[in-house]
């Protein structure tokens, strides 16, 4: 008689889930963040900080004179380029392609950015005035991290909730990019900005001409990045703008945008973002002490992520469902919806990025911001996972598709 291995498979299922599907990129970020914290609080601390912040002996772009700047201003442009590709695809032919599909994610994302900002501002009232500049730090959701935690639960979570989390995070990214462009931009240098706009116009012209080769778009994207870097607008914005010029269809009806997205997404998720995380997540706790950990800034960020996100998004869904503005995710119960809104408080990548922009020159504040981001994200991940684990049915079958509206 064949041996029944189902109990053994069930026992190892969570372990297997760590390394396959949606969970792997999120778990990699957790490991990278832990490695950065260990490096920053060990005998390697001096080498760790010098590696990323020590002045380079030679650099082709004088403005980028440290490895940290090359990562944040250069490498992260690839991440933003992939975000832009994903946003355009979803907006044109994906889950944000119709007004009805956009209603709930946009409403939830707006509420999920506004309420955390309000919570943050409430908690920093007792701190220095410059802390106000960090209001946007808890406003973003990390797609890879949040989807990774959700992936650990397998089919327990309704497919509609997975889709909802993904679309909210995408709209969230759009909002974060707009915030960076509008509120975290230095003095504009008009000549460089005009040159950047000319490049964008040329790229849109190539799009309209249905140019089927990727090469001119990539070359012009690099030129655009260099012009934007010198314009005073943060260089990573060039990645998003360049992505929006990529045609959905080339001359031979090939999906150029999808080819680029599928080709670059793994590099972004498994190389670019982990490198960014390792370079930015490390903070020396011995220099902060208990007072630094419990200072207004880290508490405000953690509260904004953990409390503000779930309050804003859950309230938006509840109100929209009650007044008939938009239906809640198909087949999802309210406790399950609550669990997913808690996961939206995971703000690792974009929050770290905005934290660096919010307090330029204030190393101590940046370190305090990292503590708040890591603490709020970790708390959101643990509580969100626990809520969903308790609220969902392990025997649930995969969802049937939502019926089309009449």
User: How does residue 5 score in pLDDT terms, banded at 50, 70 and 90?
Assistant: low
Residues 6+ apart with CB under 8 A from 245: 200, 203, 204, 206, 207, 217
3-state secondary structure of 55: strand
Write out 207-272 in H/E/C secondary structure.
HHCCCCCCHHHHHHHHHHHHHHHHHCCCCCHHHHHHHHHCCCCCCCCCCHHHHHHHHHHHHHHHHH
CA distance 93 to 96: 7
CA distance 403 to 109: 24
User: How does residue 404 score in pLDDT terms, banded at 50, 70 and 90?
Assistant: very low
* Average pLDDT of the segment spanning 179-201: 90
CA distance 402 to 103: 16
pLDDT for 251 beyond 80? no
pLDDT for 163 beyond 90? no
More confident residue, 191 or 213: 191
Q: How far apart are the first and last CA of the chain?
A: 53
Q: Write out pLDDT tens, residues 68-98.
A: 999 999 999 999 999 899 889 888 888 788 8
pLDDT for 17 beyond 90? no
CA distance 146 to 142: 6
User: How does residue 15 score in pLDDT terms, banded at 50, 70 and 90?
Assistant: very low
Which residue from 170, 405, 142 is spatially nearest to 281, judged by alpha carbons? 142
Q: What is the pLDDT of residue 19?
A: 40
Length, in residues, of the chain: 406
CA distance 54 to 47: 9
Q: Give the torsion sign (CA, 53, 57, 59, 63).
A: positive
Q: What is the pLDDT of residue 402?
A: 47
Q: What is the pLDDT of residue 396?
A: 59
Per cent of the chain over pLDDT 70 is: 89
> For 66, which DSSP code?
B
Global pTM?
0.82
The torsion of the CA quartet 359, 364, 366, 369, rounded to 10 degrees, works out to -120
Residues 6+ apart with CB under 8 A from 363: none
Q: What is the pLDDT of residue 146?
A: 87
Residues 6+ apart with CB under 8 A from 81: 221, 239, 240, 242, 243, 264
Which residue from 275, 276, 272, 286 is spatially nearest to 46, judged by alpha carbons? 286
């Amino acid at each position: 008689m064949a041996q029944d291995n189902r109990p053994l498979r069930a026992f190892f299922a969570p372990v297997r889930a760590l390394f396959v599907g949606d969970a792997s990129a999120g778990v990699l970020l957790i490991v990278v963040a832990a490695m950065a914290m260990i490096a920053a609080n060990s005998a390697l601390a001096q080498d760790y900080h010098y590696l990323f912040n020590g002045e380079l002996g030679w650099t082709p772009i004088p403005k980028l004179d440290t490895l940290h700047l090359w990562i944040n201003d250069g490498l992260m442009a690839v991440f933003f380029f992939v975000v832009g590709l994903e946003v355009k695809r979803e907006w044109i032919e994906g889950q944000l392609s119709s007004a009805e599909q956009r209603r709930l994610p946009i409403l939830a994302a707006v509420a999920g950015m506004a309420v955390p900002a309000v919570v943050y501002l409430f908690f920093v009232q007792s701190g220095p005035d410059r802390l106000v500049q960090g209001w946007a730090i808890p406003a973003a959701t990390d797609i890879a991290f949040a989807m990774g935690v959700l992936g650990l639960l397998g089919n327990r979570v309704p497919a509609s909730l997975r889709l909802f989390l993904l679309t909210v995070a995408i709209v969230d990214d759009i909002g974060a990019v707009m915030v960076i462009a509008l509120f975290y931009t230095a003095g504009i240098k008009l000549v460089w900005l005009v040159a950047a706009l000319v490049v964008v116009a040329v790229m849109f012209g190539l799009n309209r001409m249905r140019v089927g080769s990727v090469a001119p778009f990539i070359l012009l994207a690099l030129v655009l990045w260099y012009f934007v870097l010198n314009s005073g607008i943060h260089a990573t914005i060039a990645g998003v703008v360049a992505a929006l010029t990529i045609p959905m269809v080339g001359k031979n009806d090939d999906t150029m945008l999808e080819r680029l997205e599928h080709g670059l997404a793994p590099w972004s998720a498994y190389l670019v973002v982990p490198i960014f995380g390792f370079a930015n997540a490390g903070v020396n706790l011995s220099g902060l002490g208990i007072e630094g950990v419990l200072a207004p800034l880290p508490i405000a960020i953690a509260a904004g992520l953990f409390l503000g996100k779930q309050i804003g998004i859950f309230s938006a869904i509840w109100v929209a469902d009650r007044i008939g503005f938009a239906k809640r995710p198909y087949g999802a119960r309210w406790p399950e919806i609550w669990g997913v809104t808690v996961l939206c408080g995971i703000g690792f990548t974009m929050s770290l990025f905005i934290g660096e922009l919010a307090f330029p020159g204030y190393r101590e504040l940046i370190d305090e911001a990292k503590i708040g981001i890591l603490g709020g994200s970790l708390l959101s991940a643990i509580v969100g996972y626990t809520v969903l684990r308790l609220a969902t049915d392990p025997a649930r079958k995969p969802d049937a598709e939502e019926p089309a509206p009449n």
